[in-house]
Structure 1
Protein backbone atom coordinates (compact mmCIF):
# COMPACT_ATOMS: atom_id res chain seq x y z
CA UNK A 1 0.00 0.00 0.00
CA UNK A 2 1.37 3.38 -1.01
CA UNK A 3 0.79 6.87 0.35
CA UNK A 4 -2.58 8.57 0.56
CA UNK A 5 -3.14 11.04 -2.27
CA UNK A 6 -3.64 13.83 0.31
CA UNK A 7 -0.06 13.25 1.53
CA UNK A 8 1.24 13.32 -2.02
CA UNK A 9 -0.67 16.56 -2.56
CA UNK A 10 0.91 18.24 0.45
CA UNK A 11 4.40 17.22 -0.61
CA UNK A 12 3.90 18.25 -4.23
CA UNK A 13 2.43 21.61 -3.26
CA UNK A 14 5.36 22.41 -0.97
CA UNK A 15 7.90 21.40 -3.62
CA UNK A 16 6.27 23.36 -6.44
CA UNK A 17 5.38 26.32 -4.24
CA UNK A 18 8.99 26.95 -3.21
CA UNK A 19 9.84 27.80 -6.81
CA UNK A 20 6.59 29.42 -7.90
CA UNK A 21 6.03 32.48 -5.72
CA UNK A 22 2.63 33.16 -7.32
CA UNK A 23 1.19 30.13 -5.54
CA UNK A 24 -0.90 31.03 -2.49
CA UNK A 25 -2.39 28.29 -0.29
CA UNK A 26 -5.62 28.70 1.65
CA UNK A 27 -7.13 26.25 4.12
CA UNK A 28 -10.25 26.12 6.28
CA UNK A 29 -8.70 25.12 9.62
CA UNK A 30 -7.84 21.59 8.46
CA UNK A 31 -4.26 22.00 7.26
CA UNK A 32 -2.90 19.07 9.28
CA UNK A 33 -5.51 16.80 7.72
CA UNK A 34 -5.39 18.18 4.18
CA UNK A 35 -1.58 18.22 4.42
CA UNK A 36 -1.30 21.85 3.32
CA UNK A 37 0.67 22.35 6.55
CA UNK A 38 3.61 20.92 4.57
CA UNK A 39 3.43 24.00 2.34
CA UNK A 40 2.95 26.22 5.38
CA UNK A 41 6.26 25.04 6.83
CA UNK A 42 8.08 25.84 3.58
CA UNK A 43 6.30 29.08 2.67
CA UNK A 44 4.60 30.50 5.78
CA UNK A 45 4.15 33.96 4.25
CA UNK A 46 1.99 32.50 1.44
CA UNK A 47 -0.27 30.31 3.57
CA UNK A 48 -3.54 31.56 5.06
CA UNK A 49 -5.99 29.80 7.35
CA UNK A 50 -9.41 31.39 6.82
CA UNK A 51 -10.98 29.37 9.62
CA UNK A 52 -14.07 27.19 9.39
CA UNK A 53 -15.53 29.37 6.63
CA UNK A 54 -15.48 27.41 3.38
CA UNK A 55 -17.58 29.89 1.40
CA UNK A 56 -15.10 32.62 2.31
CA UNK A 57 -12.25 30.21 1.47
CA UNK A 58 -13.42 30.02 -2.14
CA UNK A 59 -14.23 33.73 -2.40
CA UNK A 60 -10.80 34.76 -1.11
CA UNK A 61 -9.26 32.33 -3.59
CA UNK A 62 -11.27 33.93 -6.40
CA UNK A 63 -10.04 37.38 -5.36
CA UNK A 64 -6.44 36.25 -5.34
CA UNK A 65 -6.86 34.67 -8.77
CA UNK A 66 -8.35 37.91 -10.11
CA UNK A 67 -5.21 39.66 -8.82
CA UNK A 68 -2.96 37.30 -10.78
CA UNK A 69 -2.05 34.79 -8.08
CA UNK A 70 -2.44 30.98 -8.27
CA UNK A 71 -4.56 30.00 -5.25
CA UNK A 72 -4.75 26.38 -4.10
CA UNK A 73 -7.69 26.12 -1.71
CA UNK A 74 -8.26 23.04 0.44
CA UNK A 75 -10.74 21.53 2.83
CA UNK A 76 -12.53 18.19 3.12
CA UNK A 77 -14.43 17.37 -0.09
CA UNK A 78 -17.75 17.43 1.73
CA UNK A 79 -17.27 21.05 2.77
CA UNK A 80 -15.26 22.36 -0.19
CA UNK A 81 -17.88 21.25 -2.74
CA UNK A 82 -20.99 21.08 -0.57
CA UNK A 83 -20.92 24.14 1.64
CA UNK A 84 -19.17 26.30 -0.97
CA UNK A 85 -20.90 25.10 -4.16
CA UNK A 86 -22.45 28.48 -4.92
CA UNK A 87 -19.11 30.27 -4.54
CA UNK A 88 -17.36 27.75 -6.79
CA UNK A 89 -20.11 28.16 -9.36
CA UNK A 90 -20.49 31.94 -9.33
CA UNK A 91 -17.11 33.25 -8.14
CA UNK A 92 -14.78 30.73 -9.80
CA UNK A 93 -16.35 28.90 -12.74
CA UNK A 94 -18.59 31.65 -14.12
CA UNK A 95 -15.69 34.13 -14.50
CA UNK A 96 -13.31 31.21 -15.25
CA UNK A 97 -10.82 32.23 -12.56
CA UNK A 98 -7.58 30.40 -11.90
CA UNK A 99 -8.56 28.68 -8.62
CA UNK A 100 -7.44 25.13 -7.76
CA UNK A 101 -9.89 23.44 -5.40
CA UNK A 102 -7.94 20.50 -3.98
CA UNK A 103 -10.30 18.65 -1.67
CA UNK A 104 -9.22 15.78 0.57
CA UNK A 105 -11.08 13.11 2.55
CA UNK A 106 -13.36 12.26 -0.39
CA UNK A 107 -15.33 9.04 -0.57
CA UNK A 108 -16.18 6.25 1.84
CA UNK A 109 -12.58 5.71 3.00
CA UNK A 110 -12.86 8.76 5.24
CA UNK A 111 -13.92 5.94 7.57
CA UNK A 112 -14.83 6.56 11.17
CA UNK A 113 -15.87 10.20 10.59
CA UNK A 114 -19.09 8.82 9.14
CA UNK A 115 -21.74 9.85 6.63
CA UNK A 116 -21.61 13.61 7.32
CA UNK A 117 -17.95 13.72 6.24
CA UNK A 118 -17.97 11.10 3.45
CA UNK A 119 -18.47 13.03 0.22
CA UNK A 120 -20.01 10.71 -2.36
CA UNK A 121 -21.47 13.49 -4.51
CA UNK A 122 -18.54 15.80 -5.21
CA UNK A 123 -17.58 14.49 -8.67
CA UNK A 124 -21.18 14.99 -9.79
CA UNK A 125 -21.32 18.50 -8.32
CA UNK A 126 -18.06 19.61 -9.92
CA UNK A 127 -18.54 17.82 -13.24
CA UNK A 128 -21.75 19.70 -13.98
CA UNK A 129 -20.08 23.13 -13.74
CA UNK A 130 -19.00 24.81 -17.01
CA UNK A 131 -15.27 25.67 -17.19
CA UNK A 132 -14.34 23.23 -14.39
CA UNK A 133 -11.73 20.52 -14.97
CA UNK A 134 -12.26 17.50 -12.69
CA UNK A 135 -9.38 15.15 -11.81
CA UNK A 136 -9.20 12.12 -9.51
CA UNK A 137 -5.57 10.93 -9.17
CA UNK A 138 -5.04 7.27 -8.31
CA UNK A 139 -1.72 7.31 -6.44
CA UNK A 140 1.28 9.34 -5.33
CA UNK A 141 2.96 9.59 -8.72
CA UNK A 142 -0.22 10.67 -10.46
CA UNK A 143 -1.02 13.22 -7.75
CA UNK A 144 2.42 14.78 -8.19
CA UNK A 145 1.86 15.03 -11.93
CA UNK A 146 -1.65 16.46 -11.52
CA UNK A 147 -0.55 19.18 -9.09
CA UNK A 148 2.33 20.16 -11.36
CA UNK A 149 -0.09 20.40 -14.27
CA UNK A 150 -2.68 22.32 -12.24
CA UNK A 151 -0.12 24.93 -11.17
CA UNK A 152 0.71 25.61 -14.82
CA UNK A 153 -2.84 25.47 -16.18
CA UNK A 154 -4.94 28.63 -16.40
CA UNK A 155 -8.49 27.98 -15.19
CA UNK A 156 -10.63 26.32 -12.51
CA UNK A 157 -9.60 22.82 -11.40
CA UNK A 158 -11.11 20.37 -8.93
CA UNK A 159 -8.73 17.69 -7.63
CA UNK A 160 -10.29 14.90 -5.55
CA UNK A 161 -7.97 13.43 -2.92
CA UNK A 162 -8.31 10.66 -0.33
CA UNK A 163 -7.50 10.02 3.30
CA UNK A 164 -6.39 6.38 3.13
CA UNK A 165 -3.32 4.85 1.52
CA UNK A 166 -3.74 3.53 -2.03
CA UNK A 167 -1.92 1.10 -4.30
CA UNK A 168 0.82 2.49 -6.54
CA UNK A 169 -0.33 1.89 -10.11
CA UNK A 170 1.11 4.64 -12.32
CA UNK A 171 3.81 3.84 -14.90
CA UNK A 172 7.35 5.02 -14.14
CA UNK A 173 7.41 7.76 -16.79
CA UNK A 174 3.94 9.15 -16.09
CA UNK A 175 2.73 12.60 -17.09
CA UNK A 176 -0.79 13.92 -16.70
CA UNK A 177 -2.74 15.32 -19.65
CA UNK A 178 -6.37 16.43 -19.19
CA UNK A 179 -8.74 14.42 -21.34
CA UNK A 180 -6.33 11.50 -21.62
CA UNK A 181 -6.47 8.20 -19.73
CA UNK A 182 -3.81 5.59 -18.99
CA UNK A 183 -4.21 1.98 -20.05
CA UNK A 184 -2.58 -0.13 -17.33
CA UNK A 185 -3.45 -3.60 -18.63
CA UNK A 186 -4.51 -4.70 -22.12
CA UNK A 187 -7.47 -7.01 -22.55
CA UNK A 188 -9.92 -8.23 -25.17
CA UNK A 189 -13.07 -9.46 -23.36
CA UNK A 190 -14.06 -6.50 -21.18
CA UNK A 191 -12.73 -3.12 -20.04
CA UNK A 192 -12.61 -1.92 -16.45
CA UNK A 193 -12.51 1.88 -16.26
CA UNK A 194 -11.63 3.11 -12.76
CA UNK A 195 -10.49 6.23 -10.95
CA UNK A 196 -8.92 7.11 -7.60
CA UNK A 197 -8.89 4.45 -4.90
CA UNK A 198 -10.57 1.88 -7.14
CA UNK A 199 -7.77 1.72 -9.72
CA UNK A 200 -5.66 -0.61 -7.54
CA UNK A 201 -8.57 -3.04 -6.98
CA UNK A 202 -9.32 -2.88 -10.73
CA UNK A 203 -5.79 -4.04 -11.50
CA UNK A 204 -6.12 -6.87 -8.99
CA UNK A 205 -9.49 -7.82 -10.46
CA UNK A 206 -7.96 -8.09 -13.93
CA UNK A 207 -5.30 -10.45 -12.60
CA UNK A 208 -7.92 -12.61 -10.87
CA UNK A 209 -10.09 -12.70 -13.99
CA UNK A 210 -7.13 -13.81 -16.09
CA UNK A 211 -7.01 -16.98 -14.01
CA UNK A 212 -10.64 -17.60 -14.98
CA UNK A 213 -10.01 -17.11 -18.67
CA UNK A 214 -11.35 -13.54 -18.94
CA UNK A 215 -9.06 -10.94 -20.50
CA UNK A 216 -9.85 -7.61 -18.80
CA UNK A 217 -8.43 -4.31 -20.00
CA UNK A 218 -7.85 -1.75 -17.21
CA UNK A 219 -7.97 2.00 -17.82
CA UNK A 220 -7.16 4.62 -15.20
CA UNK A 221 -9.53 7.50 -15.97
CA UNK A 222 -8.10 10.22 -13.74
CA UNK A 223 -9.45 12.98 -15.98
CA UNK A 224 -13.19 12.86 -15.38
CA UNK A 225 -13.78 16.15 -17.19
CA UNK A 226 -12.69 16.40 -19.92
CA UNK A 227 -13.00 12.65 -20.33
CA UNK A 228 -11.08 10.49 -22.79
CA UNK A 229 -13.81 9.84 -25.35
CA UNK A 230 -11.46 8.11 -27.80
CA UNK A 231 -10.22 5.59 -25.23
CA UNK A 232 -13.77 4.76 -24.10
CA UNK A 233 -15.07 4.28 -27.64
CA UNK A 234 -12.00 2.19 -28.54
CA UNK A 235 -12.52 0.01 -25.46
CA UNK A 236 -16.21 -0.45 -26.21
CA UNK A 237 -15.46 -1.34 -29.83
CA UNK A 238 -12.62 -3.76 -29.06
CA UNK A 239 -13.89 -5.46 -25.89
CA UNK A 240 -17.67 -5.09 -26.19
CA UNK A 241 -18.38 -4.53 -22.48
CA UNK A 242 -17.49 -1.95 -19.81
CA UNK A 243 -17.31 -1.94 -16.02
CA UNK A 244 -16.75 1.36 -14.21
CA UNK A 245 -15.36 1.49 -10.66
CA UNK A 246 -15.30 4.53 -8.38
CA UNK A 247 -15.43 5.51 -4.70
CA UNK A 248 -18.45 7.72 -5.34
CA UNK A 249 -22.19 7.46 -5.83
CA UNK A 250 -22.97 5.58 -9.04
CA UNK A 251 -25.13 8.58 -9.98
CA UNK A 252 -23.32 11.47 -11.60
CA UNK A 253 -19.72 10.32 -11.27
CA UNK A 254 -17.28 8.38 -13.43
CA UNK A 255 -19.86 5.74 -14.33
CA UNK A 256 -22.32 8.35 -15.55
CA UNK A 257 -19.61 10.15 -17.53
CA UNK A 258 -18.53 6.92 -19.24
CA UNK A 259 -22.15 5.90 -19.92
CA UNK A 260 -22.81 9.26 -21.60
CA UNK A 261 -19.98 8.53 -24.04
CA UNK A 262 -21.06 4.93 -24.59
CA UNK A 263 -24.70 5.74 -25.36
CA UNK A 264 -23.68 8.48 -27.81
CA UNK A 265 -20.96 6.61 -29.68
CA UNK A 266 -20.89 2.84 -29.14
CA UNK A 267 -23.65 1.27 -27.04
CA UNK A 268 -22.43 -1.85 -25.21
CA UNK A 269 -23.36 -3.46 -21.86
CA UNK A 270 -22.12 -1.46 -18.84
CA UNK A 271 -22.00 -2.33 -15.13
CA UNK A 272 -21.32 0.22 -12.38
CA UNK A 273 -19.23 -0.45 -9.26
CA UNK A 274 -19.74 2.34 -6.75
CA UNK A 275 -21.90 3.39 -3.82
CA UNK A 276 -25.48 2.48 -4.69
CA UNK A 277 -27.23 5.82 -4.08
CA UNK A 278 -26.98 5.72 -0.30
CA UNK A 279 -25.15 7.51 2.49
CA UNK A 280 -22.16 5.97 4.25
CA UNK A 281 -21.67 5.26 7.93
CA UNK A 282 -18.89 5.05 10.49
CA UNK A 283 -16.39 2.21 10.19
CA UNK A 284 -12.87 1.40 9.09
CA UNK A 285 -12.09 1.98 5.41
CA UNK A 286 -11.77 -1.77 4.83
CA UNK A 287 -15.11 -2.50 6.49
CA UNK A 288 -16.84 0.21 4.50
CA UNK A 289 -15.33 -0.71 1.15
CA UNK A 290 -16.57 -4.26 1.74
CA UNK A 291 -20.06 -3.29 2.91
CA UNK A 292 -20.65 -0.84 0.08
CA UNK A 293 -19.35 -3.13 -2.68
CA UNK A 294 -16.09 -1.42 -3.63
CA UNK A 295 -13.64 -4.33 -3.45
CA UNK A 296 -11.70 -6.37 -5.97
CA UNK A 297 -14.28 -9.16 -5.63
CA UNK A 298 -17.08 -6.72 -6.41
CA UNK A 299 -15.31 -5.65 -9.60
CA UNK A 300 -14.80 -9.31 -10.57
CA UNK A 301 -18.51 -10.00 -10.01
CA UNK A 302 -19.48 -6.98 -12.11
CA UNK A 303 -17.22 -8.18 -14.92
CA UNK A 304 -18.83 -11.61 -14.83
CA UNK A 305 -22.27 -10.02 -15.06
CA UNK A 306 -21.40 -7.71 -17.93
CA UNK A 307 -19.60 -10.42 -19.94
CA UNK A 308 -22.71 -12.59 -19.60
CA UNK A 309 -24.71 -9.74 -21.14
CA UNK A 310 -22.53 -9.44 -24.25
Structure 2
Protein backbone atom coordinates (compact mmCIF):
# COMPACT_ATOMS: atom_id res chain seq x y z
CA UNK A 1 0.00 0.00 0.00
CA UNK A 2 1.15 3.55 -0.71
CA UNK A 3 2.80 5.29 2.26
CA UNK A 4 0.42 7.20 4.51
CA UNK A 5 3.13 9.52 5.83
CA UNK A 6 1.37 12.69 4.67
CA UNK A 7 -1.84 11.65 6.44
CA UNK A 8 -0.33 12.03 9.93
CA UNK A 9 0.95 15.06 11.79
CA UNK A 10 3.06 12.88 14.07
CA UNK A 11 6.03 11.97 11.88
CA UNK A 12 9.66 11.30 12.73
CA UNK A 13 10.56 15.02 12.94
CA UNK A 14 7.56 15.64 15.25
CA UNK A 15 8.77 12.76 17.40
CA UNK A 16 12.31 14.13 17.55
CA UNK A 17 11.33 17.74 18.28
CA UNK A 18 8.34 17.30 20.62
CA UNK A 19 7.53 13.79 21.80
CA UNK A 20 11.07 12.63 22.48
CA UNK A 21 11.52 15.38 25.08
CA UNK A 22 8.60 13.99 27.07
CA UNK A 23 9.95 10.46 26.89
CA UNK A 24 13.39 11.52 28.04
CA UNK A 25 11.80 12.88 31.23
CA UNK A 26 10.69 9.31 31.90
CA UNK A 27 14.22 8.09 31.06
CA UNK A 28 12.59 6.17 28.27
CA UNK A 29 13.72 5.78 24.67
CA UNK A 30 11.43 4.12 22.19
CA UNK A 31 12.42 1.94 19.28
CA UNK A 32 9.07 1.49 17.52
CA UNK A 33 6.08 3.80 17.11
CA UNK A 34 2.61 2.56 16.19
CA UNK A 35 0.00 5.19 15.42
CA UNK A 36 -3.68 5.35 14.56
CA UNK A 37 -5.74 8.27 13.27
CA UNK A 38 -9.32 8.52 14.54
CA UNK A 39 -12.10 11.08 14.25
CA UNK A 40 -14.11 11.20 17.44
CA UNK A 41 -17.92 11.55 17.31
CA UNK A 42 -17.53 14.50 19.71
CA UNK A 43 -15.72 17.81 19.86
CA UNK A 44 -13.28 18.31 22.74
CA UNK A 45 -12.61 22.05 23.24
CA UNK A 46 -8.86 21.69 23.65
CA UNK A 47 -6.21 23.98 22.15
CA UNK A 48 -5.36 22.94 18.58
CA UNK A 49 -2.41 20.57 18.22
CA UNK A 50 -2.17 19.92 21.95
CA UNK A 51 -0.17 16.79 22.71
CA UNK A 52 -0.29 14.63 25.82
CA UNK A 53 2.30 11.99 26.72
CA UNK A 54 1.72 9.33 29.38
CA UNK A 55 4.04 6.57 30.50
CA UNK A 56 2.29 3.25 30.05
CA UNK A 57 4.83 0.95 31.70
CA UNK A 58 8.62 0.64 32.02
CA UNK A 59 9.00 -0.19 28.34
CA UNK A 60 6.25 1.81 26.64
CA UNK A 61 4.40 5.13 26.56
CA UNK A 62 1.46 6.67 24.73
CA UNK A 63 0.99 10.08 23.13
CA UNK A 64 -2.15 11.81 21.90
CA UNK A 65 -2.24 14.74 19.50
CA UNK A 66 -5.55 16.62 19.43
CA UNK A 67 -6.83 18.83 16.64
CA UNK A 68 -10.20 19.58 15.09
CA UNK A 69 -11.85 19.15 11.73
CA UNK A 70 -14.95 20.82 10.32
CA UNK A 71 -17.64 19.24 8.16
CA UNK A 72 -20.47 20.81 6.26
CA UNK A 73 -23.62 18.92 7.13
CA UNK A 74 -26.83 19.48 5.18
CA UNK A 75 -30.05 20.48 6.87
CA UNK A 76 -32.94 20.10 4.52
CA UNK A 77 -34.79 23.22 3.51
CA UNK A 78 -35.83 21.87 0.13
CA UNK A 79 -36.97 18.64 -1.50
CA UNK A 80 -34.05 18.93 -3.92
CA UNK A 81 -30.34 18.57 -3.19
CA UNK A 82 -29.59 21.75 -5.10
CA UNK A 83 -31.39 24.05 -2.66
CA UNK A 84 -30.36 22.25 0.52
CA UNK A 85 -28.48 24.45 2.99
CA UNK A 86 -25.47 23.42 5.07
CA UNK A 87 -24.35 23.96 8.62
CA UNK A 88 -20.85 23.48 9.95
CA UNK A 89 -20.07 20.79 12.50
CA UNK A 90 -16.82 20.39 14.39
CA UNK A 91 -15.20 17.16 15.57
CA UNK A 92 -11.98 16.29 17.34
CA UNK A 93 -9.34 14.24 15.56
CA UNK A 94 -6.84 12.31 17.66
CA UNK A 95 -3.56 10.85 16.51
CA UNK A 96 -2.86 8.05 18.95
CA UNK A 97 0.75 6.90 19.20
CA UNK A 98 2.13 3.91 21.10
CA UNK A 99 5.91 3.98 21.57
CA UNK A 100 7.70 0.93 22.85
CA UNK A 101 11.17 -0.44 23.55
CA UNK A 102 9.80 -3.93 23.00
CA UNK A 103 10.18 -5.77 19.73
CA UNK A 104 6.90 -5.16 17.95
CA UNK A 105 5.55 -7.87 15.69
CA UNK A 106 3.30 -6.33 13.06
CA UNK A 107 0.20 -8.51 12.97
CA UNK A 108 -3.56 -8.05 13.32
CA UNK A 109 -3.45 -9.48 16.85
CA UNK A 110 -0.72 -7.09 18.01
CA UNK A 111 -2.31 -4.09 16.29
CA UNK A 112 -5.61 -4.87 18.04
CA UNK A 113 -3.84 -5.11 21.41
CA UNK A 114 -2.13 -1.75 20.87
CA UNK A 115 -5.34 -0.10 19.68
CA UNK A 116 -7.19 -1.33 22.80
CA UNK A 117 -4.44 0.05 25.06
CA UNK A 118 -4.61 3.41 23.32
CA UNK A 119 -8.42 3.66 23.47
CA UNK A 120 -8.43 2.71 27.16
CA UNK A 121 -5.85 5.37 27.96
CA UNK A 122 -7.63 7.95 25.77
CA UNK A 123 -10.85 7.27 27.66
CA UNK A 124 -9.06 7.95 30.94
CA UNK A 125 -8.01 11.32 29.52
CA UNK A 126 -11.52 12.07 28.22
CA UNK A 127 -13.06 11.17 31.59
CA UNK A 128 -10.58 13.46 33.35
CA UNK A 129 -11.50 16.28 30.96
CA UNK A 130 -15.21 15.63 31.57
CA UNK A 131 -14.84 15.76 35.36
CA UNK A 132 -12.42 18.70 35.56
CA UNK A 133 -14.33 20.87 33.07
CA UNK A 134 -17.85 19.62 33.95
CA UNK A 135 -18.50 19.16 30.22
CA UNK A 136 -21.60 16.97 29.89
CA UNK A 137 -21.34 16.89 26.08
CA UNK A 138 -18.36 14.55 26.24
CA UNK A 139 -18.37 10.79 26.77
CA UNK A 140 -15.99 7.85 26.63
CA UNK A 141 -15.38 6.22 23.26
CA UNK A 142 -15.53 2.66 22.00
CA UNK A 143 -15.00 1.16 18.57
CA UNK A 144 -18.71 0.98 17.72
CA UNK A 145 -18.81 4.80 17.80
CA UNK A 146 -15.97 5.21 15.34
CA UNK A 147 -15.81 4.92 11.58
CA UNK A 148 -15.61 1.39 10.24
CA UNK A 149 -12.07 1.80 8.84
CA UNK A 150 -9.15 3.93 10.01
CA UNK A 151 -5.49 4.18 9.02
CA UNK A 152 -2.44 3.06 10.97
CA UNK A 153 1.30 3.34 10.55
CA UNK A 154 4.40 1.81 12.16
CA UNK A 155 7.71 3.71 12.34
CA UNK A 156 11.19 2.43 13.15
CA UNK A 157 12.51 5.18 15.43
CA UNK A 158 16.13 4.02 15.21
CA UNK A 159 16.15 4.46 11.44
CA UNK A 160 13.53 7.20 11.31
CA UNK A 161 11.48 5.54 8.60
CA UNK A 162 8.11 3.96 8.06
CA UNK A 163 7.95 0.18 8.35
CA UNK A 164 4.41 -0.29 7.17
CA UNK A 165 1.02 1.39 7.00
CA UNK A 166 -2.49 0.41 6.03
CA UNK A 167 -6.19 0.22 6.71
CA UNK A 168 -7.34 -0.99 10.12
CA UNK A 169 -10.88 -2.38 10.24
CA UNK A 170 -12.70 -1.48 13.47
CA UNK A 171 -16.33 -2.47 13.06
CA UNK A 172 -19.04 -3.30 10.55
CA UNK A 173 -20.82 0.05 10.76
CA UNK A 174 -21.29 0.19 7.02
CA UNK A 175 -24.58 1.36 5.57
CA UNK A 176 -27.31 -1.22 6.23
CA UNK A 177 -30.07 -1.60 3.68
CA UNK A 178 -33.32 -1.29 5.61
CA UNK A 179 -36.42 -3.20 4.59
CA UNK A 180 -38.85 -0.73 3.07
CA UNK A 181 -42.27 -0.19 4.64
CA UNK A 182 -44.81 -0.84 1.89
CA UNK A 183 -48.36 0.48 1.58
CA UNK A 184 -49.93 -2.57 3.20
CA UNK A 185 -47.65 -2.20 6.21
CA UNK A 186 -48.40 1.53 6.36
CA UNK A 187 -52.11 0.76 6.73
CA UNK A 188 -51.32 -1.71 9.52
CA UNK A 189 -49.09 0.86 11.26
CA UNK A 190 -51.75 3.56 10.98
CA UNK A 191 -54.38 1.28 12.51
CA UNK A 192 -52.00 0.40 15.35
CA UNK A 193 -51.19 4.07 15.94
CA UNK A 194 -54.83 5.15 16.09
CA UNK A 195 -56.30 2.16 17.93
CA UNK A 196 -53.52 1.01 20.27
CA UNK A 197 -50.85 3.68 20.78
CA UNK A 198 -53.16 6.69 20.83
CA UNK A 199 -55.63 5.03 23.20
CA UNK A 200 -52.97 3.50 25.49
CA UNK A 201 -54.60 0.10 25.12
CA UNK A 202 -51.49 -2.10 25.36
CA UNK A 203 -49.66 -1.61 28.69
CA UNK A 204 -46.63 -3.57 27.45
CA UNK A 205 -45.61 -1.06 24.78
CA UNK A 206 -43.31 0.75 27.23
CA UNK A 207 -41.24 -2.39 27.80
CA UNK A 208 -40.91 -2.90 24.04
CA UNK A 209 -39.92 0.73 23.58
CA UNK A 210 -37.22 0.34 26.24
CA UNK A 211 -35.83 -2.76 24.53
CA UNK A 212 -35.69 -1.01 21.15
CA UNK A 213 -33.89 1.89 22.84
CA UNK A 214 -31.45 -0.64 24.30
CA UNK A 215 -30.71 -2.04 20.85
CA UNK A 216 -30.19 1.46 19.49
CA UNK A 217 -27.75 2.37 22.28
CA UNK A 218 -25.87 -0.89 21.67
CA UNK A 219 -25.51 -0.12 17.97
CA UNK A 220 -24.04 3.34 18.54
CA UNK A 221 -21.64 2.10 21.22
CA UNK A 222 -23.27 3.17 24.49
CA UNK A 223 -22.91 -0.18 26.24
CA UNK A 224 -23.72 1.00 29.76
CA UNK A 225 -26.93 2.65 28.63
CA UNK A 226 -27.87 -0.38 26.54
CA UNK A 227 -27.60 -2.73 29.52
CA UNK A 228 -29.50 -0.35 31.82
CA UNK A 229 -32.31 -0.11 29.28
CA UNK A 230 -32.39 -3.87 28.67
CA UNK A 231 -32.94 -4.51 32.37
CA UNK A 232 -35.44 -1.64 32.60
CA UNK A 233 -37.34 -3.34 29.78
CA UNK A 234 -37.51 -6.57 31.81
CA UNK A 235 -38.62 -4.76 34.95
CA UNK A 236 -41.29 -2.83 33.07
CA UNK A 237 -42.49 -6.04 31.42
CA UNK A 238 -42.71 -8.12 34.62
CA UNK A 239 -44.17 -5.34 36.77
CA UNK A 240 -46.80 -4.66 34.11
CA UNK A 241 -47.57 -8.36 33.89
CA UNK A 242 -47.96 -8.59 37.67
CA UNK A 243 -50.25 -5.57 37.55
CA UNK A 244 -52.35 -7.29 34.87
CA UNK A 245 -52.57 -10.40 37.04
CA UNK A 246 -53.84 -8.36 39.98
CA UNK A 247 -56.37 -6.56 37.81
CA UNK A 248 -57.55 -9.90 36.37
CA UNK A 249 -57.97 -11.14 39.94
CA UNK A 250 -60.37 -8.31 40.72
CA UNK A 251 -58.10 -5.85 42.52
CA UNK A 252 -58.96 -2.14 42.20
CA UNK A 253 -56.52 0.32 40.59
CA UNK A 254 -55.66 2.07 43.86
CA UNK A 255 -55.04 -1.23 45.64
CA UNK A 256 -52.91 -2.48 42.75
CA UNK A 257 -50.71 0.62 42.83
CA UNK A 258 -50.09 0.21 46.57
CA UNK A 259 -49.17 -3.46 46.11
CA UNK A 260 -46.82 -2.70 43.21
CA UNK A 261 -45.10 0.14 45.09
CA UNK A 262 -44.44 -2.05 48.12
CA UNK A 263 -43.41 -5.22 46.36
CA UNK A 264 -39.65 -5.48 45.60
CA UNK A 265 -38.97 -6.37 41.99
CA UNK A 266 -36.96 -9.49 42.77
CA UNK A 267 -39.82 -10.75 44.97
CA UNK A 268 -42.14 -10.43 41.96
CA UNK A 269 -39.68 -12.53 39.99
CA UNK A 270 -39.21 -15.23 42.62
CA UNK A 271 -42.82 -15.72 43.74
CA UNK A 272 -45.57 -13.71 42.08
CA UNK A 273 -45.00 -14.66 38.44
CA UNK A 274 -44.22 -18.34 39.01
CA UNK A 275 -47.27 -18.98 41.20
CA UNK A 276 -49.51 -17.84 38.36
CA UNK A 277 -47.94 -19.22 35.19
CA UNK A 278 -45.54 -21.89 36.44
CA UNK A 279 -42.10 -22.46 34.95
CA UNK A 280 -38.62 -22.62 36.46
CA UNK A 281 -37.80 -19.40 38.33
CA UNK A 282 -34.68 -20.30 40.30
CA UNK A 283 -32.38 -17.30 39.79
CA UNK A 284 -29.35 -19.40 40.71
CA UNK A 285 -30.00 -21.94 37.97
CA UNK A 286 -28.68 -22.03 34.42
CA UNK A 287 -32.10 -21.94 32.86
CA UNK A 288 -33.69 -18.93 31.14
CA UNK A 289 -34.38 -17.10 34.42
CA UNK A 290 -30.98 -17.85 35.93
CA UNK A 291 -29.23 -16.76 32.73
CA UNK A 292 -31.13 -13.45 32.72
CA UNK A 293 -30.38 -12.89 36.42
CA UNK A 294 -26.67 -13.54 35.99
CA UNK A 295 -26.05 -11.92 32.59
CA UNK A 296 -28.48 -8.98 32.68
CA UNK A 297 -29.68 -8.21 36.21
CA UNK A 298 -26.32 -8.67 37.97
CA UNK A 299 -24.38 -6.98 35.15
CA UNK A 300 -26.79 -4.03 35.29
CA UNK A 301 -26.10 -3.76 39.02
CA UNK A 302 -22.36 -3.83 38.37
CA UNK A 303 -22.80 -1.02 35.85
CA UNK A 304 -24.98 1.18 38.04
CA UNK A 305 -23.42 0.43 41.43
CA UNK A 306 -19.94 -0.90 40.72
CA UNK A 307 -18.72 1.27 37.86
CA UNK A 308 -18.42 -1.57 35.35
CA UNK A 309 -17.66 -0.53 31.77
CA UNK A 310 -19.18 -3.45 29.87
CA UNK A 311 -17.74 -4.82 26.65
CA UNK A 312 -19.79 -5.19 23.49
CA UNK A 313 -20.00 -8.96 24.03
CA UNK A 314 -21.31 -8.45 27.58
CA UNK A 315 -23.86 -5.95 26.24
CA UNK A 316 -25.05 -8.27 23.50
CA UNK A 317 -25.41 -11.12 25.98
CA UNK A 318 -27.34 -8.96 28.46
CA UNK A 319 -29.82 -7.94 25.76
CA UNK A 320 -30.11 -11.51 24.49
CA UNK A 321 -30.91 -12.83 27.98
CA UNK A 322 -33.51 -10.11 28.51
CA UNK A 323 -35.23 -11.03 25.26
CA UNK A 324 -35.06 -14.74 26.05
CA UNK A 325 -36.79 -14.09 29.38
CA UNK A 326 -39.57 -12.16 27.68
CA UNK A 327 -40.13 -14.97 25.14
CA UNK A 328 -40.12 -17.57 27.94
CA UNK A 329 -42.74 -15.68 29.96
CA UNK A 330 -45.01 -15.21 26.95
CA UNK A 331 -44.76 -18.94 26.19
CA UNK A 332 -45.74 -19.75 29.79
CA UNK A 333 -48.63 -17.29 29.55
CA UNK A 334 -49.92 -18.92 26.39
CA UNK A 335 -49.83 -22.31 28.10
CA UNK A 336 -52.40 -20.82 30.51
CA UNK A 337 -54.57 -19.35 27.74
CA UNK A 338 -57.76 -20.63 29.36
CA UNK A 339 -56.98 -18.46 32.43
CA UNK A 340 -55.21 -15.39 31.05
CA UNK A 341 -56.88 -14.76 27.70
CA UNK A 342 -57.33 -11.07 28.63
CA UNK A 343 -53.55 -10.73 28.95
CA UNK A 344 -52.47 -12.97 26.06
CA UNK A 345 -54.28 -10.75 23.55
CA UNK A 346 -51.55 -8.13 24.06
CA UNK A 347 -48.99 -10.51 22.54
CA UNK A 348 -50.97 -11.68 19.54
CA UNK A 349 -49.79 -10.35 16.20
TM-score, with structure 2 as normaliser: 0.24
More helix by share: 2
Pair member with larger Rg: 2
